[in-house]
Amino acid sequence: MKALFTTLTLIILLAGVTNSYSQSSDQINREENPEQTVLDNSPLAQLKKQIYEAKKNGNDVLHKQLTQQFANQYPEKIRNSVESFNRLTVAHQDGMKTAPFMQGDWGAGDINVFPRSIFQGSGVNQRVIDLEVDSSGVKYLGFITGDRDSLKIFRSTNEGVNWTQIQALVAGAGTMIQAFDFSVTDSANTFRLGFAVTVSPDANENDADLYWVSMRGDGTGARIAVIKPKDAGNGWKNPSIISDGWNYSAGATYWYVSYQRVNSGTGAGNQAAFSWTTDWGFTWEDDTTRNTFNDYYLSVNYNAYVSSDSLYVLLANDLTVTNANLRLMRIALGNLGTSTAWSQYNIGTANPEDQGELAVNRQNNQMAVIYRETFGVGAGNIRYQYSDHAMGINWTQGPDIAAFDNNEERPRIDCQQRQGAWRISFVSQSATYDTVVYMSSTNITSAFSGKTIVNPGNDCGLTPMPDVAGFRTGAASFGGGVAFSRFSSNNLWYDGSNVTPTDITNNSSLAGDYTLSQNYPNPFNPSTKINFSIPVKGFVSLKVFDALGREVATLVNNELNSGSYTYDFNAGKLGSGIYFYKLTSGNFNEVKKMMLIK
C-alpha cells in the first residue's frame, strides 16, 4: 500500500510540474553543452588569487591584509549579513540545555531520539534530517519538527547511546522553517556548527529567506543572521553547506553555501546560487554556479589538493520532466567571485538520475557521488561513481549498490575526515514496507559491503531521507550511524553499525617506549609498511611530507591505546621522489625518510 501511495504521489507531482519545469530544445542543448569562458585576468581576479595563495600557504597575516584590501577596493562585492531575529530566534541561551526525551539501549534496538513527529518534507525537499560527527567522534543530529516551527539540534558523546538537545531554532509567529543543512568544523580548540536555513513567511517553501546560524559544539554562542533575503518574485530553497576548517586555521576558514533560486509562485528553478563567508558569517560574497536552468538536489563540497583547492556543486537538472541528469560543477577557489565560469562535467548515465550527494575523502582526495538511477515511475536503483583523478576530471562507474526489482531511493553518502572510510544509506521499498539499508567500504574503487538493515520492523518514513555518518569507537576502530524517521509514528530514530578500516593494525597492546621504525620495503612502489609503538594511551599523529616540507598525507590523527601498530601506506597518488614521515605523540617526535620509485 505504501509503494502504491508513493507511486500515485509521484505521478501527481510530475503532472503538476510539467508546465513549470519544461525546457525548450535550445535550452536543453545549452544546458548539456555550455559555452567555455576565458579565465578572468582582471585586477580583481588577480587580487583574489593572491588572497587564495596566502590562505593556501598558511600565511594568516597576509591573508587577513589582502582580504581587507579587497573589501576596501571592491565594497560592492561584500555584503554584510543582517542580524535579524524576526523570523528565526534561539530558543536556548548559553548554558540552558534540555534533557533528552528518551534514552535508548544501544545494541538492544534502535534509539528513539525524538518521540514526536518531525517534518516529512515536500516535493524534492526531502533532506530534513542531518547527522554530522566532529573529528573527536561526538555526534550531532539536526531535524525540523512536524509543524515546521523549530529546528532542533541534539548531541551524543557516547556513540549514540544517549542524546541531549543542545539548541533549538524557533521560527517567528506565522513563519515556517522549510529546509536546512549544517556542517561541523574544528576551530580554535573547539568545534563549531554552521547552518544554512531557509525560512518563509507562510507554508510556501518557494518564498523563503536564507539564514546563517553558527554555534559552539555544546550549543552555546549561537548567532543568527540573514545570508540573503528573497528578491522580487523569487525565493531560496534546498541549501547545502560545507567549511574547509579541517585544512585551515580558524582565521582562514571559509564557509560555502550552495542553494537554489526558484520562482516564488511556481517553484521553477532559475539559478544555482552560491555564497561564501571568510569571517564566520559576518560578511558574504556571491557567485553563480549556473543560471537559467531548474537545478535541484544541490550538494556542495571542497577538495584541498596539494597544488590547489577546488569547490564542487553536484546538482540534478530535469532537461525534460522524465529525464533528470546529474551535473558536477567545479571552480578553483582562486577563481571564486571572478568572471571565470564554473566548469561542468556530465557524469550521469543514459538513464535519468537524481537524489545525488557528493562526498570527499580528505585522506587521499578521492571523491564519490551516490545517486538514484530511475527506470520509469516507481523503479529506481542506487549507483555511485568515483574519481581518484586530480581535480575530479575523470569519473568511473562503481559496482551497483542496489539493483533489485523493487524501488530503491533516497541515498546518502559520508566519508568521515579522520579515517577515510565510506558509508552509505538508502531506502529499499516493497509493497508493504520500506527498509533503511546501511553499507560501508574502505576502498571506494572496489565495492560497498556489509549490507545491514537499520530500522526495526522495516518501518521507514515515506519521504524524509535518512542520513549516515562515520565516527570513531576506539583505537583504530570506527563505526557508522544512521538517523531516520519511522512511518508508523514520524518519530526520529538512530541506529549504528561498526566497520574497521584495514590500513592500520594493532599488533600488540604492550609497548615499552615510543618508537618509529624504518618503513619496509624501502624504496617502495606503491605500498609500504610503517611500524610504530606508543607506551601510553594518547593522541597520535602520523603524517607524510614531500621534500619541500609540504604535508601530502595524514595517516593517523586520533587517539590510540598503548601498543605497537603497523600502517599500510599506499602512495599510489604521489609521484616518485623522497618523502618524510613524522610520528608525534605526547612529547615524542621522530622523522624518517623513505623513497618512492615508480
**Whether residue 531 sits in one domain with residue 457:** no
Written as one letter, the residue type at 439 is: M
Q: Which of 453, 472, 499 is the last residue of a domain?
A: 499
**Whether residue 430 sits in one domain with residue 562:** no
End-to-end distance of the chain based on CA atoms, in angstroms? 59
Written as one letter, the residue type at 418 is: R
What b/e readout covers 539-576, taking b as 16+ CB neighbours within 10 angstroms?
Answer: ebebbbebeeeeebbbbbbbebbbbbbebebebebbee
Classify residue 48: in a domain, yes or no: no
**Whether residue 226 sits in one domain with residue 370:** yes
Structure confidence at residue 103 (pLDDT): 34
Contact assessment for residue 20 and residue 267, using Cβ atoms and an 8 Å cutoff: yes
Cα–Cα distance, 410 to 438 (Å, whole number): 12
**Whether residue 140 sits in one domain with residue 235:** yes
Classify residue 50: in a domain, yes or no: no
DSSP letter for 275, please.
Answer: E
Classify residue 110: in a domain, yes or no: yes
Instruction: Return the residue matching grid coordinates 577546488.
Output: 310
Instruction: Return the residue matching grid coordinates 583547492.
Output: 309
Classify residue 326: in a domain, yes or no: yes
Cα–Cα distance, 258 to 271 (Å, whole number): 11
Q: Which of 448, 482, 499 is the last residue of a domain?
A: 499
Structure confidence at residue 376 (pLDDT): 63
Instruction: Return the residue matching grid coordinates 563505526.
Output: 479
Running along the chain, 598 residues long, what does each successive block of 10 average in pLDDT? 30 33 64 73 95 94 96 94 72 48 40 87 74 90 93 89 90 91 81 95 92 94 92 94 92 95 91 96 95 90 88 87 85 94 86 91 91 78 87 85 79 82 87 77 84 71 87 68 84 69 67 93 94 87 87 71 87 87 93 95
Cα–Cα distance, 127 to 412 (Å, whole number): 10
**Whether residue 209 sits in one domain with residue 83:** yes
**Whether residue 482 sits in one domain with residue 424:** yes
Classify residue 42: in a domain, yes or no: no
Structure confidence at residue 432 (pLDDT): 60
What is the DSSP track for 193-237?
A: EEEEEEEESSS-TTS-EEEEEEEETTS-S-EEEEEE---TTEEEE
Cα–Cα distance, 329 to 341 (Å, whole number): 10
**Whether residue 512 sits in one domain with residue 489:** no
Q: Which of 453, 470, 499 is the last residue of a domain?
A: 499
CATH of the domain at 465: 2.120.10.10
The total of structural domains in the chain comes to 2
Structural domain of residue 87, as residue ranges?
Answer: 2-21+78-499
| Spatial CB neighbours of 200, under 8 Å, sequence gap ≥ 6 | 175, 176, 178, 206, 207, 208, 209, 235
**Whether residue 557 sits in one domain with residue 592:** yes
CATH of the domain at 586: 2.60.40.1930
**Whether residue 476 sits in one domain with residue 346:** yes
Structure confidence at residue 321 (pLDDT): 61
Classify residue 487: in a domain, yes or no: yes
Classify residue 26: in a domain, yes or no: no
Structure confidence at residue 14 (pLDDT): 31
Contact assessment for residue 537 and residue 593, using Cβ atoms and an 8 Å cutoff: no
**Whether residue 508 sits in one domain with residue 495:** no
Cα–Cα distance, 443 to 265 (Å, whole number): 45
Classify residue 32: in a domain, yes or no: no
DSSP letter for 433, please.
Answer: -
Cα–Cα distance, 543 to 569 (Å, whole number): 11
**Whether residue 523 sits in one domain with residue 392:** no
